[in-house]
Amino acid sequence: MLQAIFLLAALGTIVLMIHKRRPLYQAMLAGIALLVISMGKPPAESAALLFQGLTSEATLELVFAVGLISLLSQMLKEFGFLEKLMSSMVAFFRSAKIAVVLAPALIGLFPVVGGAIISAPLVDSLGDRVHLSQTMKTTVNLVFRHAVFFFSPFNPALILMAGITGIELLTLLKYLFPIGAVNIAVGYFWYLHRREETRFALDDADQGSWLKKSGALLYYGAPLMASLGLFVVFGVPLLLSLLAGVLTALVLGEKSGVDFKNLLLKGPDPLLMVGIAGIMVFQKLVVDLEGAFVLINAVVESGVPREAVFILVPMLVGWVSAAFNIAIGVSLPLLFPLVQGDGGSIFYAVLLYTSAFFSYFVSPIHMCQVLSNNYFCVHTFEAHKTQYPVLAATFLSGLLLFGIGVAVL
């Protein structure tokens, strides 16, 4: 129980420090220190555990990936890709509103951790055309990127759920699709429907042929497509696929007048990379912490109604870990046996998935929140205020689907 108390104290400390606008790396160091103290291990053993977390393949890959993604994003700006990709998307879809929805959603189809920073430069430019504030830009970027979690076959959490429950992936997608549709529909009407679009001279490209507009979209989107395509379609390691995107930008971009020294300085952010490493170490400690499972087991065994348990446990794990895969991977094996073999088990799986999604999304150490808010220079809790209406509609649609499904059965 002492570990559980320290776990809550660690998360509270992180939330408080972020709220006080302390740097991410400082908040994560404080949280990690509290968790290490709660474990009561000898200093040498604690140091070995931290070293293992810092040097794990997943941590190193993510930290350097964040640096490369930041560099690639800066190159898209400096080499002229961003503005032309923006105008090509608007010309192709004939609407900046549709483009600002599709840019983060399409990138969200690919399982890149912290991938919100890839779509952030696109949303930044497109958002100017529909008069979005910086806070609204980060909200649009996050909401539409994560909406596809409900109908993307590439989502690792969904694949994990199919493997644990034995429910076919396509069956899960069929039941989750309406929730994702609600997310996108409510998000569009809440954030974009009534906004006017600013049209620029570049919109003359709207008169071009479909083939010409498609070619422009492919050319100016080549650095992004090179990275994501190699990673998803061909299984190339993430770092190599990002390097391919950087090289593609170097070859195809307009480099005249670019200060490469300044580009390298404005690209990777060392303090942000340290903060990201801290998040990965914190998540590892949470998963290994016995106190986390004590909390979960206490809730399960307390006599709380089964429906409430399927909401509370994934919410707790998702908020604490800020990792959707962990929220599903930890709570599902504990809870699904309670309904396995039940005719309504699919609806309990949907309820758990929706609950985990909600808490993971608003966790103060959610990687995409951290990266997107950092890009747009927006405070986490300011962004949350604009996200809650759409998230509430998404969560309520999951509850409604669950209620109807269980009632019919």
Number of domains comprising the chain: 2
263 with 276, same domain? no
- Contact yes or no for 231/110 (Cβ under 8 A): yes
| Domain annotation covers residue 341 | yes
For residue 168, pLDDT over 60 is answered with yes
pLDDT average, residue stretch 377-389: 89
pLDDT, position 105: 85
Q: Is residue 156 part of a domain?
A: no
Q: Range with the lowest mean pLDDT among 18-22, 43-47, 52-56?
A: 18-22
Whole-angstrom CA distances from 95 to 86, 191, 193 are 11, 15, 12
Same domain, 212 and 236: yes
Nearest to 198 by CA among 123, 96, 111, 267: 96
In a domain, 354, yes or no: yes
Lowest mean pLDDT among 135-149, 166-180, 321-335: 321-335
| CA distance linking residue 384 with residue 363, whole number of Å | 10
Domain boundary among 222, 237, 268: 268
Task: Report the alpha-carbon distance of residue 32 to residue 104 in Å, rounded.
Answer: 32
pLDDT for the residue 316: 83
pLDDT of residue 19: 62
Q: How confident is the model at residue 205 (pLDDT cuts 50, 70, 90)?
A: very low
In a domain? residue 113: yes
Count of alpha carbons within 13 Å of 274, Cβ hemisphere only? 10
Question: How far apart are the C-alpha atoms of 170 and 176, rounded to whole Å?
Answer: 10
Q: How confident is the model at residue 232 (pLDDT cuts 50, 70, 90)?
A: low
Residue 154 lies in a domain: no
Write out pLDDT tens, residues 251-272.
998 877 777 777 777 677 777 7
List the one residue out of 364, 367, 360 whose CA is nearest residue 382: 364
Which of 105-109, 123-127, 176-180, 288-292 shows the lowest per-residue confidence on average (mean pLDDT)? 288-292
Provide the mean pLDDT of the chain: 81
Q: How many CB atoms lie within 10 A of CB 256?
A: 7
Interacting residues of 239 by C-beta distance below 8 A, sequence separation 6+:
61, 64, 65, 68
Domain shared by 51 and 67, yes or no: no
Token match 């779509």: residue? 119
Of 78 and 134, the structure prediction assigns the larger pLDDT to 134
| 200 and 69 co-located in one domain | yes
Specify whether 261 is located in the same domain as 286: no
Please say whether the beta carbons of 83 and 31 come within 8 A: no
pLDDT surpassing 50 at residue 202: no
Domain-embedded: residue 177: no
What amino acid occupies position 196?
E
Mean pLDDT score, 188-194: 90
* Beta carbons of 99 and 135 less than 8 angstroms apart: no
Q: Indicate whether 157 belongs to any domain.
A: no
Instruction: For residue 401, tell me if it sits in a domain.
Output: yes
Half-sphere exposure of residue 63, counting CA atoms within 13 Å on the CB side? 21
Q: H-type helices in 341-379, by residue range?
A: 345-362, 367-376
Rounded CA separation 34/55 (Å): 20
Q: 343 lies in which domain range?
A: 2-55+272-408
Final residue of a structural domain among 250, 268, 286: 268
Please identify, among 268, 287, 312, the residue that sits at the C-terminal boundary of a domain.
268
Angle at 33 between CA 29 and CA 37, to 5 degrees: 175
309-359 per-position pLDDT tens digit:
899 888 987 887 777 877 787 777 778 877 877 778 999 999 999 999 999
Residues 207 and 337 in one domain: no
Query: Residues 322, 392: one domain?
Result: yes
pLDDT tens figures, 60-101 = 877 887 788 778 877 877 887 866 776 777 778 778 888 889
The Cα–Cα gap between 163 and 57 comes to 24
Give the span between the Cα atoms of 398 and 308, in whole angstroms.
Answer: 14
Q: Output DSSP code: residue 111.
A: -
Examine the domain organization and report whether 213 and 358 are in the same domain: no
Give which of 258, 317, 315 is closest to 286, Cα–Cα. 317
The DSSP code sequence of 162-229 is HHHH---HHHHHHHHHHHHHHHHHHHHHHHTTTPPPP--GGGGGGGS-HHHHHHHHHHHTHHHHHHHH
pLDDT computed for residue 204 by the predictor = 46
User: What is the C-alpha radius of gyration for the chain, rounded to an integer number of angstroms?
Assistant: 22
Q: Is there a single domain that holds both residue 110 and residue 239?
A: yes
Amino acid identity for residue 200 in this structure: F
pLDDT for the residue numbered 211? 76
In a shared domain, residues 75 and 212: yes
**pLDDT interval class at 15 (50, 70, 90):** low
Asked whether residue 277 falls in the same domain as residue 381, the answer is yes
Residues 292 and 404 in one domain: yes
Stated pTM of the model: 0.68
